[in-house]
Structure 1
Amino acid sequence: MPQADILLETGTNELEVIEFFIDEGPERGHCTFGINVAKVLEVIESPGLAPQPGAPHPCFMGAIPLRGLVLPVLDLAVWLDIPRVPRKNEIILVTRFNERTTGFLATGVTLIHRVHWREVEPPHQALANLAGNCITGLIRLENRFIQLLDLEKIILELDADLSAGPRPVPQDRRLRALIVEDSGVMRQMLRDRLEEANFEVTLARNGQQALDILRDSGLATPDIVISDIEMPLMDGYTLTKTIKADPHLAATPVVLFSSLITDELRHRGVAVGADGQITKPQFANLADLARSLIASHERRRPDHA
């Protein structure tokens, strides 16, 4: 892909959202949600699954064959604790992120919207702080809101292996990290893991908030920035591109840490100047990667002895 095309796609602070809904019945109507199109492989018609007795979670609807895959299917309505009126021709969103392929049952799909991350409103802080919150942003349309779902939270809570792995070895030297992550559960996991490795951690909920922190002359510049990609107001690609274009910040290493980093999409992080990219299933390696990048940048500094 030509470099110009990569930069046009990446760092423009835009995303495409697939809008879908759950029918809660005639009195409550449709509840509307959205997820990043980049996470969706396809949308298929549900074969009419039923809850599985003895399933590890009530939302698990079993598994179906799909072109050589065994696709686990989760009922979003059960997970979200909202009613769903069964209908004919319900759909399954087949998603791929965190190196896992998962199906999510919903009533139907409406449209695909191309929006700017500035148009995505963060949830109110009181809601964002709730342990059970799985809404990462709101898109205001003419007559309704689309709620962006944190599907990663669902997968993390159902699959403990994603947060498992060896604990980091603390180092004598205290380093500073700025974590930029809109998911509350991931933000806390990152903070805990890096603090175990003797990092002093500052938190930001989106790229714009992170940039404000970085440009605050009263605050010490962090040794490293670790950023998600999908965030309201400013995404991780745009944040990285902005940091690398700022002469006062460009030397700060940036790691993109996201469920969307795949072999096919890794070029996007390279295009905006990310120093490292790591998928969320590689969570256990994050502290070591951060320390390695900091040491590498320090060795390249002109004043390094």
Structure 2
Amino acid sequence: MEEAILLDVGTGELEVIVFVVNGNSYCINVLKAREIIQLSEVRPAADQNKSILGLTNVRDQVMTVVDLSYILDKKQTDLSERKMALVCEFNKKQVMFAVDSIAGIQRIKWSDITKPDSLVRASLAVGNILTDNGILLMLDFEKIIADLSKDQMAEMKNGIVLKQERQAKRIYMADDSKTIRELLKETLGAAGYTNIVEFDNGKEVLEAIYKLKEKYGNEFNQEIDLLITDIEMPILDGHTVTRKIKEDGILNTLPVVIFSSLITADLHHKGERVGADRQISKPSIGELVEAVDSLLF
């Protein structure tokens, strides 16, 4: 599936898988889905978390099945009915998300994705897409995984060592997931990186960096030392942001770290093509701190 639908790096376009849960349409970036399969036998897990349907076997690999119906609507999936599943990869681990049906694949522009209304910003939507068939909600799968892995996240932060010299460094951070931004600020702050300016989409962070160039020219780095960016963001994606920075005659010295759940073995080359200095898979916080250190010291 991947080879047929991968788009050129930094074109400002993406393809999304449209799926249905309880009569409502949602979507996920094609690059986050390893495959689409029919959900077969699911064995209940010992975990009492109602968001977890259980475990299933896919080609001799045991996978956790997440119940999107319960997460979205607090309605547990009826496994007596035929269901489909999205197999996704996060932090080098494959997780399965149960859905009612798959509506198809649609090509859109990042600029077609708008930020959710501030009144519903706390929801699981990171973007709205207006289509001929209505509004598509792009879900924050990173938040879903983070909420299900809170203990693991806490352990990651506990291993961070504070170093005072990090406080002088100025970092810009762009990620559409409020949950990930908060996690990054807490963890980087625990390491000593407390001077962080955050943005929730690629357009805003790129405009802010362009303003530094206009004001300071070649001395722009007196206000910014490094950029950490997600890939999947509304309006402008992280690959395009990185490419524009690295193609700029002045800004190309700015270190850029891509921090994304899309950093898989198959897709690592896309970041290389746009000139990213480092690529770290979410939520490998310890590895992120090491990468930032290597670029700034």
For the superposition of Structure 1 and Structure 2, which TM-score range results when normalised by the shorter chain? 0.7 to 0.9
Q: 1:164 aligns with which of 155, 158, 164?
A: 155
| Superposition pairs of residues 53-72 of structure 1, within 5 angstroms | 55-72=47-64
Q: Does 1:211 pair with 2:201?
A: no
Residue 45 of structure 1 and its aligned partner are, at CA, apart by 1.7
Q: TM-score, normalised by structure 2?
A: 0.87
**Equivalent in the alignment of 1:73:** 65
User: Alignment length, in residue pairs?
Assistant: 279
Secondary structure of the residue aligned to 2:97 is strand
Ranges in structure 1 where 5+ consecutive residues have no aligned partner: 1-6, 24-29, 296-305
Q: 2:262 aligns with which of 260, 263, 266?
A: 260
Residue 162 of structure 1 and its aligned partner are, at CA, apart by 4.4
Secondary structure of the residue aligned to 2:56 is strand
Q: 2:192 aligns with which of 194, 198, 213?
A: 198
Identity fraction in percent: 33
Amino acid at match of 1:137: G
**Equivalent in the alignment of 2:111:** 118
Secondary structure of the residue aligned to 2:165 is coil
Instruction: Check 1:245–1:155 CA distance in 2 against 1; reply closer, same or farther (3 A cut).
Output: same
Counterpart contact for 2:87–2:97, Cα < 8 Å: yes
| Superposition pairs of residues 142-181 of structure 1, within 5 angstroms | 142-159=132-149, 160-162=151-153, 164-165=155-156, 166-173=159-166, 174-181=168-175
Ranges in structure 2 where 5+ consecutive residues have no aligned partner: 1-5
Distance 2:162 2:192 in 1: 9
Amino acid at match of 2:155: A
Counterpart contact for 1:164–1:284, Cα < 8 Å: no
Secondary structure of the residue aligned to 2:253 is coil
Deviations 1:49-86 (A, max 9, x none): 58x48633102111111101001111101011354784
User: Which shifted more, 141-150 or 225-234?
Assistant: 141-150
Counterpart contact for 2:70–2:77, Cα < 8 Å: no
Secondary structure of the residue aligned to 2:276 is coil
| Superposition pairs of residues 77-156 of structure 1, within 5 angstroms | 77-83=69-75, 86=78, 88-128=81-121, 130=122, 133-156=123-146
**Equivalent in the alignment of 1:250:** 252
**Equivalent in the alignment of 2:39:** 46
Distance 1:53 1:267 in 2: 37
Amino acid at match of 1:9: D
Secondary structure of the residue aligned to 1:277 is strand
Instruction: Check 1:53–1:257 CA distance in 2 against 1; reply closer, same or farther (3 A cut).
Output: closer
Secondary structure of the residue aligned to 2:211 is coil
User: Which shifted more, 180-189 or 240-249?
Assistant: 240-249
Secondary structure of the residue aligned to 1:38 is helix
**Equivalent in the alignment of 2:3:** none
**Equivalent in the alignment of 2:275:** 273
Residue 141 of structure 1 and its aligned partner are, at CA, apart by 0.2
Instruction: Check 1:250–1:106 CA distance in 2 against 1; reply closer, same or farther (3 A cut).
Output: same
Counterpart contact for 2:21–2:69, Cα < 8 Å: yes
Amino acid at match of 1:67: R
Higher helix share: 2
Amino acid at match of 1:267: H
Residue 176 of structure 1 and its aligned partner are, at CA, apart by 0.3
Residue 142 of structure 1 and its aligned partner are, at CA, apart by 1.1
Distance 2:232 2:96 in 1: 20
Secondary structure of the residue aligned to 2:10 is coil
Distance 2:191 2:77 in 1: 48
